[in-house]
Structure 1
Amino acid sequence: MTKVIKLQGSFNFRDLGGYATSDRKQVKQGLLYRADELAGLTEADKKIIEGLNIKTIVDFRSDFEVEMKPDPIINGAQYVHIPALPGMGVESSAALLPAELNNLVENADHRAGSMEQLMGGLLASGQFPIERVQQFFVTTYEQLPFQNKAYQRMFQLLADEENLAMVQHCTAGKDRTGVGSALILLLLGVPEEIILADYMITNDTLQPKIAQLKQQLAPLVGNADLSVVEALYGVDKRFLQATFQKIKQTYGSYTRYFEVEFQLTASKQAAIKEKLLD
């Protein structure tokens, strides 16, 4: 089972090691981590992370998200920022919204405000239905695995032992990071059901963050239904299953997917497995 790293300023920092593969091997612990945003790390948190011997931090967030909450410096770690979905965050929120609200997003003063203020305005409008949020995520999860430069870079880094241990993260550590983590585990031969179980752990780790966000939004939204916050910051098996299904529909097999999308030949895939499996 995944190991949650207890930190004060990050809720969803986890070790991906320990999972069994279909050929009875095991993902090594202490080499692969997934996380939510790191901007809130305390000095004590940073010491804990430095103690994990992190060599590479891969940040999947948009330029806007990074500008709002830049990563702290972690001694000994190189920082690689490459958006997993260009424009994801406030800039792409219009994809979730009825046309009449697009203007609100486009004209919001992002630099002066905050994600919470913008979200509060959207929720208060009463036109931010959970069904639309869920469909947005399904569509996003179907698109993320293909021609994605962030994941291409992630696998390039992963192929070199000098870059390990590695942590990948986004804002909540659930969608862009969730797909990135799933792709690594798929390459290593971890069964889908185990990957889904790891993915769903986010619903437990982010509960304090969700409660905090609801408290922040309550004064901004009046009588609006805050259950949509659960949909935005939680995870649903259907989302990641959409990733699995789209890959198999497109390529027929995961092996072929990794060969075409990441130029990982059978020998290259075997070399990565050799580094990361016991």
Structure 2
Amino acid sequence: MYRSNRLSKLTDADQAKLTAANVTLDVDLRNAMERKDEPDRLPAGVEYKVADVVSLNNGLGFHEFVPITLGRAIIDAAVKGSSDIGQSIGYPFMVSFQGSDVAFRDLLTAIAQQQSGAVVYHCSAGKDRTGWATAVLLTILGVPRATVNADFLASNTFLGRSDAVEQSWLDAAFDQVNRLYGSFDRYVRDGLRLDQNTVNTVRAKLLV
């Protein structure tokens, strides 16, 4: 299991690394324009799936009245001193937007159904859509929240920026989960609509 940023600029050497890592499935979380402008450059034999986190193909439904989510996020960003109000807004919306539910369900289902080889999933920068997807996956696997937080914040190290991600953004997403569903398990069941068999399969594949 690998997470990444955009795969559009892979060199031949980069592609060889994917092959050596036995990557056989690429799940792209980016939107249609990103995919059109910078299509993934993959080695032969890698299956490609789209799980667009902001797609409107499944409707424009939200689990909460949008102005409420927006207002709360703006206030939260101001109180916590967020350096990027857009991200402070974006994280809770990934929990509230029903199209995002579909994308994350598709990603997790693809992981469960993968028969052989490794999976790589990514967005553009590899830190926000991919960051929340990873937090969801790790939490499903029972990883402690402190470790999930540390993994999320590691983007600052790997991207060489102190402000690539902020803890408050991830907190905002988890807070929205608790606000809308009461627990993470209910978010998985009622929000992502991921059946227990798929959850069990993901755990069986990735836990040792």
TM interval, short-chain normalised: 0.7 to 0.9
Compute the displacement of 1:168 (Å): 0.9
TM-score with structure 1 setting the length = 0.60
- Count the aligned residue pairs: 181
Which residue number in structure 1 is paired with residue 133 of structure 2?
180
1:235 maps to 165
TM alignment of 1:51-70, pairs within 5 A: 51-70=20-39
- One-letter amino acid of the counterpart of residue 88, structure 2: V
Aligned-residue CA RMSD (Å): 2.0
- 2:95 match: secondary structure: coil
Q: Take 1:194 and 1:165, find their aligned partners in 2: how far apart are those partners?
A: 22
Quick one: which of 101, 104, 118 aligns to 1:165?
Answer: 118
**Counterpart residue number, 1:256:** 186
CA contact (8 A) 2:24 2:47 kept: yes
The separation in 2 between residues aligned to 1:76 and 1:60, in whole angstroms, is 20
Q: Which residue type is aligned with residue 202 of structure 2?
A: I
Shift of 1:142: 0.2
CA positional deviation for 1:198: 0.7
Q: Measure, in 2, the Cα distance between the counterparts of 1:269 and 1:69.
A: 32
Runs of 4+ in structure 1 off by over 4 angstroms are none
Partner Cα separation in structure 1 for residue 117 and residue 145 of structure 2: 24
- Tell me how far apart the structure 1 counterparts of residues 117 and 193 of structure 2 sit (CA, whole Å): 20
CA distance in 2, matches of 1:63, 1:269: 28
Quote the offset at 1:264 in angstroms: 2.7
Match for 2:52 among 70, 83, 106? 83
Q: Kindly provide the CA deviation profile for residues 89-124 of structure 1, in whole angstroms up to 9, marking residues without a partner as x.
A: xxxxxxxxxxxxxxxxxxxxxxxxxxxxxxxxxxxx
Unaligned ranges ≥5, structure 2: 57-80
| Higher alpha-carbon deviation: 38-47 or 60-69 | 60-69
Identical residues among aligned pairs (%): 30
1:72 is paired with a residue of what secondary structure? coil
Q: Distance in 1 between matches of 2:88 and 2:117?
A: 31
User: Over alpha carbons, which structure has the higher Rg?
Assistant: 1
Candidates 203, 206, 209, aligned match of 2:159: 206
Q: Where in structure 1 are there 5+ consecutive unaligned residues?
A: 1-31, 88-130, 211-229
